[in-house]
Structures are given as C-alpha cells and as structure tokens.
Amino acid sequence: MDPFDLNLRHLRALAAIVARGSMSAAAEVVSLSQPALTQGLAKLERQLGAALFDRHSDGMTPTEAGLALAARTEAAFGRLGGAVPGGRRGFARPERLMTATQLRAFLALADAGSFVGAGVATELSQPAIHRAVRDLEQVCGVVLVERRGRGIALSDAGRRLTRGTRLAAAEIAAGIVEAAPDLHGGQIAIGAMPLSRALLLPRAVARIAREMPATQFDISEGSWRDLVEPLRDGAIDMMIGALRDQSAPDLHQAPLLDDRLVIVGRVDHPLAGGAMPGRAALAAYPWIVARAGAPLRTLWEGLFAGDPPPAPIECGSVMVIRGILRDGDFLTMLSPDQVALEIASGMLAMVGPELEASGRVIGVTTRAGWRPTRVQARFLEVLSECAEEITNQDFE
C-alpha cells in the first residue's frame, strides 16, 4: 500500500483519539465533525485490514496496531513540519494542512523533473499536478519549484520538503506494516557497499528469507557516496559496508566485524604467492585503486608510507576489477571474501599474506533516530549473528 493512499487528516487524528480517549474530543482537535471522523477512521481500518481502536460505551482504547500507527504518524508529521518552517507567508503549522494528493504530486514532480513526467507517474493530469504543487506552496508559504528556461528545478525549500516528504512516507509505510504485519508483510531496503556483498549480506538475506518468507528485499549496490543521500532521504533503510572513521551527526554507525585486506593479482603474476614483496617491487606494477577519500584508498596509500606509485585505474566495481586483474599485471587490494571464488578456481592469486595494518570495520549505517520495524529489527539481529559466525570462522 502506498502511504499516500491514506488520508493524512484522518491519520493525524489517531494521536488525538489516543490522547483524548473519545471521538468527539479528537474531532475538535483536527477540525472535523464527529461523523466525518468516524467514517474516516472506519475507512482507515478497512484499508489496513486491522482494528485501530476498541470501542466502549465510555470512550475508545487504542489497540496495539492503533498505538503503532499513531506513533509513526506523529513522527511523519514531525518530519514534514521540520522540513518547512512556518510563520512566514504560509501557515504556522503547514504540515497539518498538507494533503496526500499534494505530497504525491510534489514527489512525482521532484522525481520526474517535469510536469509531463509527474503526470505519467501518478496518472494525474498536468493541470492537476500544477494545482496540487501550487496549493502546497501556498500552504508552506515558500516557493518550491522554480522555472529554469523551458524546464523546472526545485528551490532550496523544495529540496528540503522533498527529503521531509520521503522520510514522512517511510514512517507511514512502517506504521502500515506494524499495524497489520500479517497482511502487509515487511520490506527492507538495503544499500550494499562492496565489502558486504560477497559473504555477510547474502548469508543474512538468505536466513531471513527462510525465517520470514513474506519479507521483501530491495537491495541497491553502490559506494558510500552513492548510497548516503538515498539513506538520508529514506529511500533505503540501512547501508552495510565499511564504516567511516567519523560519522556525520545525522547518521548512526554500528560495527559488525573487522576485515583484513590482501593484495591480489592474476594467478601467474610475477609476485604471486610467497612472502610479502618490498615496496619497490609492489610499486613496479600498475595498480587499481579506490577513489580518493575512500577508506580503501587511504589504506593503499599507507602501504607505501604516504608516497604511493601512480595508479592508472580508479574503480569501485569488484566485478570490473576482477576482469582487469585476469588480463594484465595489475595489482589491487581487496577483502579475501571478495575474490575467494576466483582464488579457489585458479584465476587470481594472493600476493603475500594478509596485510597486518589493513583492518577495516564492517558495519551498518542508519539514520540517527531511525526506528526499525519488527522485520527490520530481526534482520539486524541476524546480520550480527552472521558477522559473529564469519569472525569465528576466520579465527579457526
């Protein structure tokens, strides 16, 4: 279910019903008539397939589903409210007046970059998209979309609201799952960085797929740079891979295991096998390295005491790197897990033993304050279990 299939005003009323304990008191808070709110709540429950409140002669008591959805909805409106400061030309609390239609149209426009594309994505007419976005601008009191020649672009305020809307949608989506997990299952959106793809992530995903077969996985591959903004936007729930030495204040890092590197070349490379070659010998061959600023690049530079040789190829794709290594005298630094199959099959070989001073911490990065659903929390537990198993195997 799309989060914006639900009526935002009815969702906002949930917390008021929980706090006031009656439909009439909550209706006054959200500026709806009691019959309208009664009908709206009944529609919500039909859409979700779950009872949100137990009705009594003296009031209403929230069910577990109702408490879960009310809490997520409050967080969603907090995201919207934090994205657009009120009190200027708009309303003091603009998030209370936004509609699902407006936010769906605005997000479609932000994604498509044009009114034509937004109309195709939402099946709304272009005039309807125009009207929804302009109404949203009036509510917020700021310009969200600017004309740029023949095209359009988001203003600074538009970009802030885009992120706030995505995060709000993620909160509501989590609330839908928590309210009726048997009907709506669970989804985990994962950003997979290179060091997680070979062993850790596949093992954890396979285990959850067996344990919770209704779980849906959406896995995006990329570097830290590629994935961090989708994480901040709420497009993915977590990134798995090498942690940064210093995390941004809006991100939370949790370590899982330590990873050591090896130098790798083709199986018949002149330096393959044996003891670790000296720096001069290593510098005599071309290297494939990570981009500047990546932890792997820093470790490679440290291998040469801060005076590294020229590296003609910068690449973050292990698949591409493996192909280049097989067809030349290139060297690179990788995790043993990333090339285990190629080494076992005789295509690639290690150059010397594992590097002593090459430890990298592999872990999970999430948004600060992120609250996982039950399925997401269980996945994090399984991820930790798999990391412990891999660590124990390495010590055996």
Average pLDDT, the chain: 90
Q: Is the pLDDT of residue 290 over 50?
A: yes
In this prediction, residue 41 carries a pLDDT of 95
Q: Is 346 helix (H, G, I), strand (E, B) or coil?
A: coil
Predicted confidence (pLDDT) per residue in 243-284, tens digit? 988 879 999 999 999 888 899 999 999 999 888 999 999 999
CATH class of 186-257+361-395: alpha beta
Taking the C-alpha atoms of residue 362 and residue 164, their distance in angstroms, rounded to an integer, is 29
What CATH architecture does domain 3-167 belong to? Orthogonal Bundle (1.10)
CATH 3.40.190.10 domain residues, the chain: 186-257+361-395, 261-358
CATH 1.10.10.10 domain residues, the chain: 3-167
Please enumerate in sequence order all residues whose Cβ is within 8 A of that of 13, keeping only pairs 6 or more positions apart, or say none: 26, 27, 29, 30, 32, 37, 40, 41
Which CATH number does the domain 261-358 belong to among 3.40.190.10, 3.40.50.970, 3.40.50.300, 3.60.15.10? 3.40.190.10
127 close to 108: Cβ distance less than 8 angstroms: no
Residue 396's pLDDT band, with cuts at 50, 70 and 90, is: very low
DSSP for 106-150? Answer: HHHHHHHSSHHHHHHHHT--HHHHHHHHHHHHHHHTS--EEEETT
Q: Is the pLDDT of residue 359 over 80?
A: no
Q: Is the pLDDT of residue 357 over 70?
A: no
Predicted confidence (pLDDT) per residue in 147-188, tens digit? 887 788 999 999 999 999 999 999 999 999 999 887 767 899
Which pairing describes strands 251-259 and 287-289: parallel, antiparallel, or unpaired? unpaired
Question: Can you read off the two tokens belonging to residue 143?
Answer: 């310009």
Residue 299's pLDDT band, with cuts at 50, 70 and 90, is: confident
Taking the C-alpha atoms of residue 114 and residue 85, their distance in angstroms, rounded to an integer, is 26
Residue 358's pLDDT band, with cuts at 50, 70 and 90, is: low
Better-predicted residue by pLDDT, 185 or 140:
140
In this prediction, residue 198 carries a pLDDT of 77
Q: Is the pLDDT of residue 89 over 70?
A: no
- Give mean pLDDT, residues 331-357: 87
Q: With the CA atoms of 90, 95, 101 and 103 taken in that order, what torsion angle do they form, in degrees rounded to the nearest 10?
A: 90
In this prediction, residue 395 carries a pLDDT of 44
